[in-house]
Amino acid sequence: MLLPVVQAAREAARRASCTNNLKQIGLAIHQHHDTQGFLPQSKWNQSYGHLPKLLPYLEMQSAYERGEVAENPGPHHPGFRTLSSLEVPAFFCASDGSPRTHDYVCSYNPDVFDEGAITNYVGVGGAGHGHLYSNHEDGGWELATDYPYFDPNCNGDSTDNGQGFFYRSDYHFCGKLTFAMVEDGLSNTVMMGEILPERTQWSQWAFSCQGMTMAIPPNARKADGSFYDRNDYANVWGAHSSHPGGVQFVFGDGHVEFVPESTSDAVYRAWGTINGGEPGGQCIKTPFEQLEIGSKPGCWGNFS
């Protein structure tokens, strides 16, 4: 009879540890903003993502310097290789018992990324899903996902283009994001949330290959109740956790919330956009007409 009680107490302690990690990350993001005047950015397929930019604010200045993060030297640089293998305690959820390094942490450049130190926390790119932009102004293609969704500003991609705080190509587009640009309010918009490397191979903390969209509900499953294969890119680009019944997020004002799986799609998706204006109008554009929003792919409408 005591075993369930003990297990529940242990999970409560692990979840509290996870909450503390997310609070640390949220504080580091604010310190970056206060110091640099903008939020950290990711340079997809060229080198570092968002998390390495936070190391100086997590008492890891020496690691930041060894990895030459400020210079963003590229994934084949020795400094990058060293940093990508570093296990950062603040990036691990205690409820996730999987190894701190993982095989196949990114499908690109397999000679570099066959194995790397992972993270349980990634940036939220927005609430769009179903249409993936390339980094070229011509381009985009449909994603074969079970969770197609166009956010209120007709954005169908929160991977390379988004209306959220952090997407993997935000270095390329539209200048630098500041907290003043978050029209929906910092307390109403999520910055980062949880993933499980056992459910998605895009989980290396140092490289700019990870992220999530709020179009996919937390701990999403197939119709038969099973989980998607971890390399099913279009269907695993959402939040996952080992906490029973939900996932934790850090919001723009730094507070952390446990978000139940039962949260309505409308509320959940609204939390993912910085200027969705929810409740808002209905998107009437087709996917390829999204290219008309802003001056180029990746722009947040008014901020182009």
Q: How far apart are CA 128 and CA 148, in angstroms?
A: 8
- The proportion of the chain whose per-residue pLDDT surpasses 70, expressed as a percent, equals 81
Q: How far apart are CA 151 and CA 156, in angstroms?
A: 7
What total of structural domains would you count in the chain?
A: 1
How confident is the model at residue 172, as a pLDDT? 58
Q: Does residue 5 surpass a pLDDT of 90? A: no
Q: How far apart are CA 2 and CA 160, in angstroms?
A: 48
The answer to whether the CB of 286 falls within 8 A of the CB of 275 is no
Domain region containing 209: 2-303
Q: How far apart are CA 121 and CA 22, in angstroms?
A: 8
Torsion of CA 15, 95, 164, 153, to 10 degrees: -90
Q: How far apart are CA 158 and CA 166, in angstroms?
A: 9
Between 117 and 240, residue with greater pLDDT: 240
How confident is the model at residue 114, as a pLDDT? 60
Q: How far apart are CA 139 and CA 81, in angstroms?
A: 31
Q: How far apart are CA 116 and CA 179, in angstroms?
A: 31
The answer to whether the CB of 151 falls within 8 A of the CB of 126 is yes
Mean per-residue pLDDT for 191-201?
94
Label residue 192 by pLDDT band (50, 70, 90): very high
How confident is the model at residue 128, as a pLDDT? 92
The answer to whether the CB of 130 falls within 8 A of the CB of 155 is no
**Mean pLDDT lowest among 34-38, 190-194, 293-297:** 293-297
Between 113 and 282, residue with greater pLDDT: 113
Q: How far apart are CA 181 and CA 79, in angstroms?
A: 34
Q: Does residue 102 surpass a pLDDT of 80? A: no
Label residue 127 by pLDDT band (50, 70, 90): very high
- Residues recorded for the chain: 304
Spell out the residues 6+ positions from residue 63 whose beta carbon is closer than 8 angstroms to its own.
Answer: 55, 83, 86
